[in-house]
Amino acid sequence: MKQPVILVLGIAFASLAATQGLGAATATGNVTVSATVAATAKLTLSSATVTFANADPDSSPSIAATEGAITITTKGKTSTNGTIALTLLAANDLKSGTDTIAISNVTWTATGAGFAAGTMNKTTAQTVGSWTNSNSRTRTQSFALANSWAYATGSYTATATYTLTAP
């Protein structure tokens, strides 16, 4: 009569031992992951040339550029709350031999947040647009020349430089 009791106790002991032997094993390792983001600026213009066609000052007091609006793509990385700025500086007045048309007769309008209208200047860089934080933006800029009967005939040229700054 006592024999089955002895057997049950033996199995109970065996089960307890098995549970203790199958505990989960764990090991860990740490890796530090770093990323460096450096100040970067990229500027792309849809056209490197702006042309103003000859026109009657009476009927066309303002001559729009033949190329139409220029698409400007700016990409910049700056510090948190840092300002990225796009400026434009003319190298000189429009010149044709000894004849000149003051560069201040060239103005622009712009579309898109952060960009604004302005007037070209040969001494002080003019802000075309500015914004804070790193970003990629595509905007348009449309140039116009204030027409005048006072302009001597000729083919005038000038260069201007865009500068995108991401401090």
Q: Using CB under 8 A, list all residues that contact another protein.
A: 2-3, 6-7, 10-11, 13-14, 17-18, 20-40, 42, 75-80, 82, 133-136
- Compute the least distance from the CB of residue 60 to another protein, in Å: 40
Between 80 and 153, name the residue whose CB sits nearer to another protein.
80
- Element at 139 (helix H, strand E): strand 135-146
Closest CB to another protein among residues 29, 97: 29
Residue 153 phi/psi, 5-degree rounding, is: -65, 150
Q: How far is the CB of 135 from another protein (least distance, A)?
A: 6
Nearer Cβ to another protein, position 77 or 122? 77
Gap between the Cα atoms of 121 and 104, Å rounded: 6
Report, in Å, the least distance between residue 71 CB and another protein: 16
Kindly tell me which of 126 and 134 has the beta carbon lying closer to another protein. Answer: 134
Three-state SS letters, 50-113 = CCCCCCCCCCCCEEECCCCCEEEEEEEECCCCCEEEEEEEECCCEEECCEEECHHHEEEEEECC
